[in-house]
A = this chain, B = another copy of it.
């Protein structure tokens, strides 16, 4: 295919767009790949659409190769199935909802678990029909509060979403593994570095879940990794709990006056004044943080989280733990006299206590651990309060912030924190959706069994941004061959008709050989502008026909490495083909 710059619908821009926060967004707009059309909505221009379609092709080929079958659902979906699973409500403001002319409720699909489940229920009924993996590559909608970073987080975007259906857990494991393996092949082909991290499944429910994160400084997700290869989404990091301590012989708890201790820091100072030899630090204190949970049915509940005083509650971690409930600030102390603001202690907490307020603790709060904490009385704290002896709790919660240097749960050393963007997600959903929508099949014994499912997503449009982000340099975009909108950028410079004749002939030969050539045939544009455009647009191979033609040579340049070489004009097509095909 031949793309002529003289007629291509393209306008490269010298200046960065005002609203672009990250390099990929800036360069994709400047290079005429995408253009903003709405808040969080982008138009693909011809070159961008070619990159998008290349990414889509890679995803489709690998999904087909693993035996998944392609289908395609509407994006405009009825409310009822999402009502049945609770997601109509759980999605909150993130869901685009609308009504048709008759007032019936619809939504724009953010993901399609319900619809796939119903389709399989509709057509299949026997274990013999399974396993089944079906997928679509489809436009999705989420009413993001803050669309950002161009294609990274839009309100309309393309996802490949697949769903597996198995009759038993072993089958589900195999389907999960097959998707995971296909995803590694996809990201390898796209040239996208990735880390597979353990993830919480959040609002999706289910039991096992991993994310394919592309490490990048502009990523929104923080993840951890250890020297031994452990990697997890921050939400999924599990805390290494210390060993329990026998409570026998531990000193008795004692209440002390601790006036003017509004912060952990001042509390530690006062405690040290009282007991100079105890070696108290912030980690010696137990901070009890009250939040309000808002449940999907609208009811609210106070919840107290006990964590060591040297850590803060990480709201995203907490939210992942309590989902689908949402976390809100707690203010209604008046209604809960057991909660003495600033001096809350665990002695009065717990679902079985008089207050009835649920109390969850950090995993570091183990039986036998001793704490300085609130005495449930203004101006007083209690010391040597022993977990399991002096107070109990309703469960543990992974809500404390994760820090670089924390021990990895696999014991392989200290954790490192890094940023990344989620490119793919594999979920073992289990039977949540099949239960909610009653998807059962007859097993070998003629008994109805509930199907177990998996759900697997790849951000297709997002991958375009991630590739641009990870490969660009200071001059512009640098596309990997697999996704480049053209194989070769052919630049004809100067005003000499012979140059254009030679370039045109070379373009013809390359196209005949099956390459896509972006040919800069613009007659009145200076060589400087053409070269700048070639760097900005980022085709992997740049061929220049210009002054050297008089000496019988063209220049062949590798955009990624910057390597240049002169090649004879005779046989140039073969040399270019060799460079392109490696």
Interface set of A (CB-CB < 8 Å, partner B): 1, 7-9, 11, 32, 35, 37-39, 41-46, 49, 52, 64, 67, 69-78, 93, 96-98, 100-101, 104, 106, 108, 115, 119, 122-124, 132, 134, 139, 141, 143, 145, 155-156
Contact = CB atoms under 8 A, between A and B. Distances in A.
A155 B100 CA distance: 10
B101 A143 contact: yes
A78 B39 contact: yes
Given A35-B123, A77-B37, A77-B38, A72 B43 contact: yes
A100 B70 contact: no
Contacts of A132: 9
A156 B11 contact: no
A32 to B, nearest CB: 8
Contacts of A45: 71
Contact of A49 (B72, B93, B101): B72
B73 A43 contact: yes
Closest 10 CB pairs of A and B: A41-B74, A98-B98, A44-B72, A11-B123, A93-B101, A46-B69, A74-B156, A9-B69, A43-B73, A38-B78
A506 B52 CA distance: 37
Given A74-B156, A76-B96, A96-B100, A43 B115 contact: yes
> DSSP majority for the A interface?
mixed
28 contacts: A8-B69, A9-B132, A32-B123, A37-B73, A37-B77, A37-B115, A37-B119, A38-B74, A38-B76, A38-B77, A38-B78, A39-B78, A39-B104, A43-B72, A43-B115, A43-B119, A44-B71, A45-B71, A49-B71, A74-B156, A75-B75, A76-B108, A76-B155, A76-B156, A93-B101, A97-B98, A98-B98, A139-B139
A42 B64 CA distance: 22
Nearest to A99: B98
A42 B74 contact: yes
Nearest to A79: B38
Contacts of A124: 11
Contacts of A115: 37, 43
Contacts of A122: 35
Nearest to A155: B76
Contacts of A96: 76, 98, 100
A78 B36 CA distance: 12
Copies of this chain present in the complex amount to: 2
A78 B121 CA distance: 37
A492 B250 CA distance: 80
Contacts of A32: 123
A44 to B, nearest CB: 4
B119 A35 contact: yes
A69 B43 CA distance: 13
Given A37-B74, A74-B156, A75-B139, 18 more contacts: A35-B119, A35-B122, A38-B76, A39-B78, A39-B104, A41-B76, A43-B115, A44-B71, A45-B71, A46-B71, A49-B72, A52-B72, A75-B75, A97-B98, A98-B108, A100-B155, A101-B143, A101-B145
Given A9-B134, A78-B39, A70 B49 contact: yes
Contacts of A104: 39
Nearest to A8: B69
A43 B71 contact: yes
A440 B115 CA distance: 46
A555 B162 CA distance: 38
Most buried by B among A39, A52, A104: A39
A8 B68 CA distance: 10
Most buried by B among A45, A72, A100, A143: A72
B75 A156 contact: yes
Most buried by B among A64, A101, A132, A141: A101
A42 to B, nearest CB: 7
Contacts of A78: 38-39
A453 B535 CA distance: 34
A75 B157 CA distance: 10
